Amino acid sequence: MSIRRTTAALAVLTMILAACGPSGGGDGSGAAGDCHVGMAWATFQEERYGLRDLPGLEAALEAGGATLTDNDAANSAETQASNVEALLDAGIDVLILNSAEPESSLQSVEAAVDAGIPIIAYDRELESADALFMTHDNVGVGRMIAEAVTEAQPTGNYAIIKGQEGQTNPLFLRQGFEEVIAPLIEAGDITIPEGAEVYTDEWLPDNAQDNMETILTANDNDIQAVLAQNDGMAGGVIAALAAQGLDGEVAVGGQDGDKAAINRVALGTQVVSVLKDATELGTAAGEAALQLCENPDISAVEGAVESTTVGGIEGYAVLLDPLPITRDNLQAALDLEWLTVEELCADVPSGTVDECP
Amino acid sequence: MTTQAEPIEAPLAGEPRGEPVRTSLLSTLGVDVRLVGMVVALAVLWIAFNFLSDGRFLTPRNLWNLSVQSAAVAVMTTGMVLIIVSRNIDLSIGSILGFTAMIVGLLQAEWIPDLLGLPLNAPGTWIVVVILGILVGAVIGGLQGFVIAFIGVPSFVVTLGGLLIWRGAAFALASGRTIAPLDPTYQLLGGGPQGSLGATLSWVVAGIAIVAFAIGLVLNRRRRRRYGFPVRPVWADVTIGIIGSLLVAVAVWIANAYPWPPNLAEEYAIENGIPIPPGGLIIPTGIAYPVLIAIGIAVLMTFIAKRRRFGRYVYSIGGNPEAAILAGINTRRTIMKTFILMGALSSIAAVIITARLNASTLALGTGAELQVIAAAVIGGTSLAGGIGTIAGGVLGAVIMQSLSTGMTLIGVDNAQQDMVAGVVLIVAVGFDSWLRRRRV
Amino acid sequence: MTATEPVKPATSGSRPPLVEMRNIRVSFGGVHAVDDVSVDLHAGEVVGLVGGNGAGKSTLIRALSGAHPPDEGEIYIDGEKVSISSPQDARNLGIETIYQTLALADNVDAAANLFLGRELTTRLGSLDDAAMESATREVMGRLNPKFKNFKVPVASLSGGQRQSVAIARAVHFNARILIMDEPTAALGPAETEQVRDLVSQLKAQGIGIFLISHDIHDVFDLADRISVMHTGDLVGTVDKDKVTKDEVLAMIIIGKPPEQVSEKEMAQIIH
């Protein structure tokens, strides 16, 4: 038994090593087609990338007759810098950069610009006018989480569970929260107790769980709602609530559209999971890359709007709309084939939601 | 190596170089001074946090939470102590944790149900899941240990590779999906009010511990007497017995003083048709299962380290690898075994964390290697090898978790928490080397 | 070769030698550290092994102790050919070694070192520390009655105490063959005297001892025969009573048997 398992693990390893190779991804391995697109991933360590972003991107490029070369930086800025170099050396026509660390990525951007290669900043913003920022509207995601949660729980004590400190995404999301809750705080409807807004090391669910337990202890369970910045951490928060018998009573919001989270929405322990269809983003990036192969002017890409970066640089962006999944529109997730009915309805008592028989 | 007429410079036999001066109370009691120092440091830390948090730190609820939060890191630290003592390191444990977390999640939520057509909470599957999970961890550890011990690749390199490999493999297992919910019975292994012993059983455990401790003291005394060895004064043994028993009793009393949260108690009352008294139903929580697991493992690992040949060999290798080889010890096999053990302990930690979280997520265990190494080192394990105790490592884990929980409780933000943890690590090790220099 | 023919030791009878190492060769990267050396040892006999730095004494002895098996050559114990490929094999044949480095695990106590690799266990397989401590106290009581620090790591012991732990380890297990590599190098005069007494005692018990020493006086006092090595070769084995210290010194330095050494060379040694 254990030997079989080891063999399986080794097979898995081989697959990973193959996928890490410089010519993974596209099926033409770079020789065929006029348009050669390079994709530098920050990390494959999250559910979405291999499952959604990459297939979307691949499909769009394949449809346009382009080839793809991609590599993974495993969240290391240094690795990514050399990965981008390798892509540029491979003679790509368009660079899609999913930055591991936006500041260090600027050098890579410069190198691409020097080589006359148009750049798409994929899902993570770069402080450069030369990169076309393509993302779901993250501020909008934050807004949607807060809107759904405040609708379910318009008053009371709010806890805010943020992601890793020092990254930009937690800031965008927090800004979206702020737009919704600031007036309510001002009106005295909502309070964030001292110490109830925390960052979470590495976005880890178990760290979020520890933090939530401590917040509950500090406030004698007097917390009515939690804004979590992703679904993994929302899961940790809900586990902490469950240990106090408060799951389902406290309104919790998150994002990513994790299957487990949408199941929790159906169960009623989570109010909302804002879903960013990463396949859609991958597809959009693929289509934009095809256009950039024809015409390297980023402002000419379909859907590009003028936008300002966090650092105040004027540039262009393509912003896709996220989709909040609540108990009212679970069917939307099913329609996207995001998850199966079985996955949606695991443990859900029949008759509590329409989608679950 | 061979002859060289060097001047005779060694001191005479019997000269008491470095012989400890046996005068202090602690040395009469025969207690590890270092360990006592750590307990005192922990007490000071707790009191300070209690003061800063307006009395919220030293509450049964917070201490109970703290015990559960420390469990997984404590379990892994017991293995890391042996690894470091034998002059190795294991950087892969966080990734092994992440990989086995996916294995146990998939096993119970998908593989077993799909293969055998059993529902998620079929009775007994959790046992199969846990055993298979531990096996997978042990095999991974064994694989790495084999390369380290028999092929001779440094453990730093092999486990650094392992850190990348198993994290990647964890991703490949389920394309990064989160596996949830998990088997309700399995979830009990993660603690929570239902995943705890309750008052009566907690006292039974305390009773067993106290009786075992007392018997141990008596037997040890008898045995030394029988061999005609010097023994501690009776009052010293009695004092140790009383202090030990009191510590156990207080710990259990605190665990029992944390009642079930009102909502859960109410649910339980309704389900079981128990009338709810006016003040609310008070159900003592008691020792949480993961804490019981961690304590059991710490006791077992201490036994292995101190009372089994394997443990003796691990320490000897750490003290002088050449001497261990010349003494006919199979050092390679011993080293490989430490890594098998480490892998198994990492998967036990994976079980505790996933059960507690009610989910297997990809990133679990990220950075755990550093937490665990820090806990071992704060607990007095020397990175030079040969020195370290399991109890110290566990205490180190509790200190680390106390810092993190305490600072969150008083609203210190994340970045500053990391800075404080770093300073504590350096201070602890600095103090340790100062202490050792002074003694020798 | 005639003069270097092994001299019959005083105790010899018709029995085969306790140890016979024949044509031993050990190479390190093409260099012969020990080249075609044959020595033997009888029960109740002390054979001194002397030579300058790099003469190959320790390497030869490591071949017997299992620490570094020889590339070529044969080893006979009681006339029977044996194969020694690990320290364990040597111990199983009753060969104990006191290494010059002492080979102690510094972080554990005397008893743990004494029984390292062959711990006493209870019926359930746990370490029987009390029994080991008792045995340690017993053997140390004979070897070094002043020794009291049974519960501390040997790192905190003096050089002499550490030496007595290493010696105790070798004698406790009823060795038939004892290898002592510079047993007195780290000792003061009183302890050196103790070791000398011990060697005589053990010899009287019929144990065969290989004694490696840089101290020609030690060797002359304790050994029955002396084997001299020079740059990996055996210069010769001589009966202690039939040579002078100066002659042995000449063998060590010049690397020739006494009768081949010229008057002039001899004069240089003496002065």
Written as six digits, the tokens of C219 are: 């060797």
pLDDT at A24: 37
Q: What is the DSSP letter of C216?
A: H
Per-residue pLDDT tens for B70-91? 999 999 999 999 999 999 999 9
This prediction has a pTM of: 0.84
- Measure the CA–CA gap between C176 and C208, rounded to whole angstroms: 6
Which residue in chain B is spatially nearest to C124 when comparing CA positions?
B308
B-interface mutation test, from C107, C134, C191, most B Cβ less than 10 A away = C107
- Per the CB < 8 A criterion, the answer to whether A111 and A86 are in contact is no
**Which residues of A fall within a CB distance of 8 Å from B192?**
242-243
Query: Are B312 and C108 inside 8 Å of each other by CB?
Result: yes
Residue from B438, B405, B416 nearest B65 by CA: B405
Residue from C68, C99, C89, C93 nearest C18 by CA: C93
A near B: at least 3 beta-carbon pairs less than 8 Å apart:
yes
Q: Quick one: residue B228, left, alpha or beta (phi over 0 = left, psi -120 to 50 = alpha)?
A: left
Cα-Cα-Cα-Cα dihedral sign, residues A87, A89, A91, A97: positive
Q: Which residues neighbour B23 within 8 Å (Cβ) at sequence distance 6 or greater?
A: none
Task: Name the strand (E) or helix (H) holding A96.
Answer: strand A94-97
Residues in chain A, total:
357
Residue from A140, A134, A202 nearest A172 by CA: A140
- Measure the CA–CA gap between B287 and B64, rounded to whole angstroms: 8
Identify the band that residue A1 occupies on the pLDDT scale cut at 50, 70 and 90: very low
- Measure the CA–CA gap between C139 and C146, rounded to whole angstroms: 12
B422 burial level (CB within 10 Å; 0-12, 13-18, 19+): exposed
- Measure the CA–CA gap between A16 and B171, rounded to whole angstroms: 9
Mean pLDDT of B190-213: 95
> Does residue B107 belong to the interface with chain A, where contact is any CB pair within 8 Å?
no
> Does residue B122 belong to the interface with chain A, where contact is any CB pair within 8 Å?
no
pLDDT at C4: 44
Cis amide prior to B181 (ω within 30 degrees): yes
Rounded to the nearest integer, the mean pLDDT of chain B is 90
Identify the band that residue A2 occupies on the pLDDT scale cut at 50, 70 and 90: very low
For C53, which of B3, B224, B318 is closest by C-beta distance?
B3
**Which residues of B fall within a CB distance of 8 Å from C214?**
2-5
Residues 105-124 of A with CB under 8 A from B: none
Q: Which residues neighbour A186 within 8 Å (Cβ) at sequence distance 6 or greater?
A: none
A8: Cα within 13 Å, side-chain hemisphere = 12
- Per the CB < 8 A criterion, the answer to whether B392 and B381 are in contact is yes
- Per the CB < 8 A criterion, the answer to whether C167 and C98 are in contact is yes
Q: Which residues neighbour C138 within 8 Å (Cβ) at sequence distance 6 or greater?
A: none
Residues 150-169 of A with CB under 8 A from B: 165-166
Give SS3 for B430: helix
Query: Are B411 and A194 inside 8 Å of each other by CB?
Result: yes
Paired strand residues for A160: A197, A227
Q: Position B64: which residue type?
A: W
A14: Cα within 13 Å, side-chain hemisphere = 6
Identify the band that residue B394 occupies on the pLDDT scale cut at 50, 70 and 90: very high
Mean pLDDT of A293-315: 90
Query: Are A9 and B140 inside 8 Å of each other by CB?
Result: yes
Per-residue pLDDT tens for A10-42? 444 444 444 444 333 333 333 335 899 999 999
Identify the band that residue B440 occupies on the pLDDT scale cut at 50, 70 and 90: low
What is the helix, strand, coil percentage profile of chain A, to 5?
Answer: 45, 20, 35
Per-residue pLDDT tens for B254-288? 999 999 998 899 889 988 888 888 888 899 999 99
pLDDT at B102 over 80: yes
pLDDT at A350: 85
> Does residue B124 belong to the interface with chain A, where contact is any CB pair within 8 Å?
no
pLDDT at A25: 38
* Distances from the Cα of C141 to the Cα of B21, C85, C138, C165, angstroms: 22, 34, 5, 11
Identify the band that residue B3 occupies on the pLDDT scale cut at 50, 70 and 90: very low
- Per the CB < 8 A criterion, the answer to whether C188 and B11 are in contact is yes
**Which residues of B fall within a CB distance of 8 Å from C104?**
319-320, 323
pLDDT at A12: 44
**Which residues of A fall within a CB distance of 8 Å from B374?**
none
Residue from B286, B288, B190, B65 nearest A212 by CA: B65
Q: Which residues neighbour B192 within 8 Å (Cβ) at sequence distance 6 or greater?
A: A242, A243, B288, B356
> Does residue C137 belong to the interface with chain B, where contact is any CB pair within 8 Å?
yes
What is the helix, strand, coil percentage profile of chain B, to 5?
Answer: 70, 0, 30
**Which residues of B fall within a CB distance of 8 Å from A244?**
261, 263-264
Give SS3 for A251: strand
Pairing, β C72-77 against β C177-181: unpaired
Task: Name the strand (E) or helix (H) holding B202.
Answer: helix B198-226
End-to-end CA distance of chain C: 28
> Does residue A192 belong to the interface with chain B, where contact is any CB pair within 8 Å?
no
Mean pLDDT of B349-362: 95
Give the residue, C163 or A264, on which the prediction is more confident.
Answer: A264
Per-residue pLDDT tens for A101-142? 888 899 999 999 999 999 999 988 899 999 999 998 888 999
Q: What is the DSSP string of A12-79?
A: HHHHHHHHHSTT-B-SSTTTSSS-EEEEEES-S-SHHIIIIIHHHHHHHHHHTT-EEEEEE-TT-HHH
pLDDT at B175 over 80: no
Task: Name the strand (E) or helix (H) holding B394.
Answer: helix B390-409
Per-residue pLDDT tens for C141-191? 888 888 888 888 999 888 888 888 998 998 898 889 999 998 887 778 887
C40 burial level (CB within 10 Å; 0-12, 13-18, 19+): buried
What is the helix, strand, coil percentage profile of chain C, to 5?
Answer: 40, 25, 40
Q: Which residues neighbour B280 within 8 Å (Cβ) at sequence distance 6 or greater?
A: B262, B265, B266
Written as six digits, the tokens of B217 are: 């003291």
Mean pLDDT of B209-233: 90
pLDDT at C134: 92
| Lowest-confidence segment of A82-96, B241-255, B293-307, C12-26 by average pLDDT | C12-26
Rounded to the nearest integer, the mean pLDDT of chain C is 87
CB atoms within 10 A of CB A352: 13
| Lowest-confidence segment of A319-328, B26-35, B51-60, C251-260 by average pLDDT | B26-35
**Which residues of A fall within a CB distance of 8 Å from B56?**
217-218
> Does residue A355 belong to the interface with chain B, where contact is any CB pair within 8 Å?
no
C35: Cα within 13 Å, side-chain hemisphere = 12
| Regions of chain C short of the pLDDT cut 70 | 1-14, 269-271
Written as six digits, the tokens of B357 are: 């979280």
Neighbours of chain B (3+ CB pairs under 8 A): A, C
pLDDT at A109: 92
- Measure the CA–CA gap between B78 and A146, rounded to whole angstroms: 43
pLDDT at B439: 61
The phi and psi torsions of C160 (rounded to 5 degrees) equal: -65, -40
Query: Are A206 and B173 inside 8 Å of each other by CB?
Result: no
- Measure the CA–CA gap between B343 and B83, rounded to whole angstroms: 11
Which residue in chain C is spatially nearest to B303 when comparing CA positions?
C126
Query: Are C186 and B386 inside 8 Å of each other by CB?
Result: no
CB pairs under 8 A between A and B: 163
